[in-house]
Amino acid sequence: MRSRLDFRRRITILLGLDERPEFPKKDLEALWCPWRVEYFEQETRNPDFLSDAARASDDAAHLVIARRKNAFLMMNRYPYAVGHLMAVPYRKTADAASLGDNEVIELWSLAMHGQRLLRETMKAQGFNIGLNLGECAGAGVPDHLHLHIVPRWSGDTNFMPVLAGTRMLSEGLESLYAKLMATQARLADEANRG
């Protein structure tokens, strides 16, 4: 925590904000984010939500977008950015080396499918794709590996995460899920006609 505060202090000094008049906080006390109610209304985080989604029959309730024989694609309930997807093997493992060839192929295939959906639906211009293996590496679910697919756009970074420790998410999970599913259906229809 100290390093974050030191960094903020250095940025404040470098930008010359120390010499500026006090920020008019009384005029901007609230950051209105009505879509965040989806997170607040949820009960405590379920540490087995990936395993639950793997076994679920109600894909919409678990935000599952696509299923294959060995892996599935789902939206992240706790996203780094709006549209953050995850490709997840059905088999619960923390060790990437334990994955079989078919699991690896399907995870990457689902990552490419997720990229296409995000390009078509959200006009994503780039992606961060990767694994956080182990709690010390940032894994939120260290015992069930998953491949992150995070959409990016030119100019999408801003000061909020650095100075305020806050991420801005511009769309709710359920509305984006419906859009992604509609895009997936359209692409499947085009492929069948094609």
The catalytic site residues sit at 146
43-68 burial by CB neighbour count: b if 16+ within 10 A, else e?
A: eeeeeebbbebbebeebeebbbbbbb
Complete DSSP assignment for 144-183: S--EEEEEE-TT---SIIIII------S-HHHHHHHHHHH
Q: How far apart are CA 148 and CA 115, in angstroms?
A: 11
Q: Closest Cα partner for 74 from 57, 91, 60?
A: 60
Longest dimension (CA), the chain: 64
